[in-house]
Amino acid sequence: MPLLGHQSRGEARLRKLRLIIVGLLGVLCLTGIGLYTYGRARPAAPAAPGNVQAHDPSMIKQGHTYYVFATGGTIQIRKSTNLVSWELAGTVFDRIPDWITKAVGTIPDLWAPDISYFNGKYHLYYAGSHFGTNNSVIGLATNTTLDPGSRDYHWVDEGMVIDSLPASDNWNAIDPNLSFDSTGVPWLAWGSFWSGIKMRRLDLNTGKLSTVDQKLYALASRGGGAIEAPAILAHDGYYYLFVSFDRCCAGANSTYRIMVGRSTTITGPYLDSTGTSMLSGGGDQLLASYDNVHGPGGQSVYVDGQTTWLVHHYYDALANGAITLQIRKLTWTNEHWPHVAAPYKPSPGIFGFFL
């Protein structure tokens, strides 16, 4: 009898514990459903307005952290572990390098950075110029790490890569983009207005212009019209050239749109899906203004394992045309043309927490 009485009290405690667990699970499920519905109904909000105001963004990943470099001051840096919540992580330089001031005069900002990693270093190409002129330079800075907390973190000013002069050049040395061909040779594309998008081969060791191939290649043009911000992606036997058409930098009145063509060789010719050359103004429209997303452009592309990201800015018509960072997945049609997905946001998990 004492043993049976002990068992009854134990069973009562067990039943009580089970009821408590079931109740807690019920609360969690209801909360999860509510959060899940909320997550589905609205996109994840940015961490803070200043942290997503990135113009001409270029992205790369080191370890578990993504870094975005953007136009502004001495090149703004942002970081994130989830591609949604971004925080400022300093700038590349403390001040604009003296050689840039000597070349183009006093300017308030450095433009359109492009970040890549090769030969054991991060290579950051960027531009210095005056708006509306082709008195411009493209520079290079390198670093062995992107972690500002590392003892090895230090940006080295490698100086000028190329310049353009109004008296002699019909192209504009801004908006640089580095890419590699199938043999591992690096190439630099750049350009804005004038005669369009140009390209030169680089030296793998220095990151500067090659002395082996000194030809200036022409990739795309609109006969002096608005074309800029080249970004080249190698995929499935093709090289894809992404560019921005039309008007930038006018807030909600911007008409920027992202266009694309492809080639079987990195130096072109680049054609759109109708066979029209991008040297003749061709290009398939990938993304244009819609709803509050005005003037999407200034794009870069980043291959992150099995995922390819299109990283760009737009002007938010619901926020007085504020510059806003946006990241989207690229997918591919059966005809091997890129398709852009909706703006990225994490998927809600079983209890509504974003994963």
Catalytic residues: 56, 228
Of all helices (H) and strands (E), which one includes residue 40? helix 2-41
Q: How many residues does the chain have?
A: 355
For residues 351 and 37, give the distance between their C-alpha atoms in angstroms, rounded to a whole number. 10
Here the tokens at position 83 are 């591609």
For strand 257-263 and strand 238-245, is the pairing parallel, antiparallel, or unpaired?
Answer: antiparallel
For residues 164 and 175, give the distance between their C-alpha atoms in angstroms, rounded to a whole number. 12
| Contact yes or no for 90/77 (Cβ under 8 A) | yes
**Taking Cα atoms as reference points, which of 351, 355, 345 lies closest to residue 34?**
351
| Contact yes or no for 317/252 (Cβ under 8 A) | yes
Q: From the CB of residue 139, how many other CB atoms can be counted at a distance below 10 Å? A: 27
Handedness of CA 188, 113, 53, 295 (dihedral sign): negative
Q: From the CB of residue 162, how many other CB atoms can be counted at a distance below 10 Å? A: 21
For residues 85 and 108, give the distance between their C-alpha atoms in angstroms, rounded to a whole number. 28
**Taking Cα atoms as reference points, which of 80, 191, 182 lies closest to residue 138?**
191
Q: From the CB of residue 15, how many other CB atoms can be counted at a distance below 10 Å? A: 10
